Amino acid sequence: MATTEPSAQSDPQSGPETRQGIGVSPGTAYGPVVQVAPPVRPPANEPAVDDQEAALGDVKAAFEAVAVSLEERATRVEDTAQQILKATALIARDKGLVKAAAKQLEAGKGRANAIEGAIEQYAAQFEALGGYFAERVADLRDVGSRAVAAVLGVPAPGVPHFTEPSVVVAEDLAPAETATLDRALVVGIITEAGGRTSHTAILAAQMGIPAVVQLTGATSIESGTHVALDGDTGEVTIEPDLELVEQQRARAARRTEALGRLSGAGATSDGLGVALLANIGGVDDAVSAGALDLEGVGLFRTEFVYLSATKAPTVEEQTQIYRDVFAPFEGRRVVVRTLDAGADKPLKFADLGPEENPALGRRGLRLSAERPDLLDAQLEALAIAARETGADVRVMAPMVATAEEAAWFARRVRENGLPKAGVMIEVPGAALRARDVLGEVDFGSLGTNDLAQYTMAADRMQGALSDLLDPWQPAVLDVVGLACEGAKTVERPIGVCGESAGDPLLALVLVGLGVTSLSMAPSKVPVVRLALSLHTEAECQRLAQIARGSRTAVDAMGAVREAASSELTDLL
């Protein structure tokens, strides 16, 4: 059993090793590493079996062992996670899988390959069905990988069973894996892959578990090694000394104390109001964010309403969902982003065919232009739900590039009886011409993740390009600055709803550039509220100048950190 005391065994010459990753979910953690085992693949040269009956018995036993272990895990978790695990256990017990595996054995495959063959047969069927079914393929393959491990007698993939509070380390975590983590036992998460906006990052922030992604060599840290991680700075220290752990703990305690002192609307120390809002993606998020001290929702992503559907959801179906989302925000604002699908997120009922460059293709408002019926149904449902719940609903379109597009969207929004129309500013062209684009609507919202992707010509899905996608890139800050100037000219409010809004130092810079609201993962609201309360508007403007005056992203962050109030930076 590993002890929770820091080890004294680190090399006295070099001291404990500190590595730099990207902090994506705030807070500090310390504990032993639990490595998540990677998926197990069957051996390529597995011979055919001599005794098919005995082999089939082994395959059956492997599936049964997987079902039993999943059911056992299900007893240790709650509600949603329990349902996911029970349903997965039911798959492992499916007679169809055993039958399919028997045919594979007859065809001359070895045990492990027969299991994988049977799984892939169903996977192909499910993928062809699309939508919800295609999403279940990950569960199916998980069952397969576990059964392969069982039949080969190697450790099962996924998060192993552990009883001591630990730091979970993986190449990357599948959404279902993250969702089934036991919050009481998982004190921190580290991944080698992933990015600032990866699923792990988003879920960890929502669950309030400190997390670091993009940590080189993370998967080669041995299980049981003690690590300290800081989900704000992205630093991970291997076998840290007691002093560092204490420093981190003390800082975390000071932070908790400082954050607890403040509440209510966001504002600079001289009283410039900056609305602090939540990014949400569904009814569950809305209910949990609705209970928090924040001014509303700055980004409600509506994709979930569509992505699992095989036919266009009706106005009635959508109204029901939107009502549930708006209800917790009576009297507060909810900014809804209309359907942002197409290209890389194709819809079963509105597929315009594959594209060479999906990020640059017919997605967002461009899809709505080809299928205005989808947009109209959504706007109608939003208008009904808004009237019924009393939430201050504002609607914005994604992927707007020109003033004509903005005008087209605003007209449709108003025709459907919704009072406020806005646009996302995520295309650099729209940022440069914000005066004209925002002149057509009531507000703008900077999607800094996509804006960075398009400004730096770097694919968001490419973890290796993370440096280019750093929102501290001076070029990205320039584009944000120009968009804010355009918004000011036509006197339109302009918010930020990318993850940069949740970085307390960057939030100060954004306010200095002219941003009037910040929308982020709800767990990041308190630290941003604190950061604002410690600076005047003029100080924010000076920090913005310092950032834009820097030559590199690293310089910009370093210089702003240096110039910001030490009362804030001492806590970060």
The catalytic residue positions are: 199, 497
Stretch that binds other proteins, among 119-127, 394-402, 538-546, 547-555 (CB under 8 A): 119-127
Region of 234-242, 293-301, 309-317, 549-557 interacting with other proteins (CB under 8 A): 309-317
* Distance from C-alpha of 496 to C-alpha of 516, rounded to nearest angstrom: 8
Tally of CB atoms within 10 A around 52 = 14
Q: Which helix (H) or strand (E) holds 70?
A: helix 52-74
Cα distance between residue 255 and residue 527, in whole Å: 8
* Near other proteins by CB under 8 A: residue from 61, 68, 107, 129: 129
416 among annotated binding-site residues: no
For residues 80 and 347, what is the distance between their CA atoms, to the nearest angstrom?
26
Q: Is 125 in the site for other proteins (CB under 8 A)?
A: yes
For residues 119 and 209, which CB has a smaller minimum distance to other proteins in the complex? 119
The least CB distance from residue 288 to other proteins, in Å, is 21
In Å, how far are 3, 225, 237, 266 from 15, measured between CA atoms?
Answer: 20, 15, 10, 42
Can you tell me the distance from the alpha carbon of 53 to that of 135, in angstroms, rounded to the nearest whole number?
A: 34
Stretch that binds other proteins, among 82-90, 275-283, 294-302, 485-493 (CB under 8 A): 82-90
Q: Is 279 annotated as a binding residue?
A: no
The reply to whether 304 sits near other proteins by the rule CB under 8 A is no
Determine if 132 is a binding residue for other proteins (CB under 8 A): yes
Binding other proteins (rule: CB under 8 A), the pick from 41, 60, 76, 86 is 86
Number of residues that bind other proteins (CB under 8 A): 21
- Between strands 275-280 and 17-20, the pairing is unpaired
285 labeled binding residue: no
Q: Are 499 and 194 in contact (CB under 8 A)?
A: no
362 binds other proteins (CB under 8 A): no
The single residue among 46, 94, 182, 355 that binds other proteins, judged by CB under 8 A, is 94
DSSP string, 165-226: -EEEEES---HHHHHT--TTTEEEEEESS--TTSHHHHHHHHHT--EEE--TTGGGSPTT-E
Instruction: Return the residue of 96, 108, 155, 419 that touches other proteins, per CB under 8 A.
Output: 96
Q: Could you say which of 37, 91, 218, 245 contacts other proteins (CB under 8 A)?
A: 91
250 binds other proteins (CB under 8 A): no
Q: Does residue 122 touch other proteins according to CB under 8 A? A: yes
In the complex, least distance from residue 152 CB atom to other proteins, rounded to whole angstroms: 23
Alpha-carbon distance values, 12 to 217, 239, 309, 532 (Å): 22, 12, 59, 41
172 marked as part of a ligand binding site: no
Q: How far is the CB of 338 from other proteins (least distance, A)?
A: 23
The Cα angle at residue 138 between residues 136 and 142, in degrees rounded to 5: 120
> Does residue 228 contact residue 37 with C-beta atoms inside 8 Å?
no
Residue 476 sits in the site that holds other proteins (CB under 8 A): no
For residue 501, how many other CB atoms are within 10 A of its CB? 31
Q: Is 460 annotated as a binding residue?
A: yes
Binding site as annotated, residues:
301, 337, 426, 449-450, 460
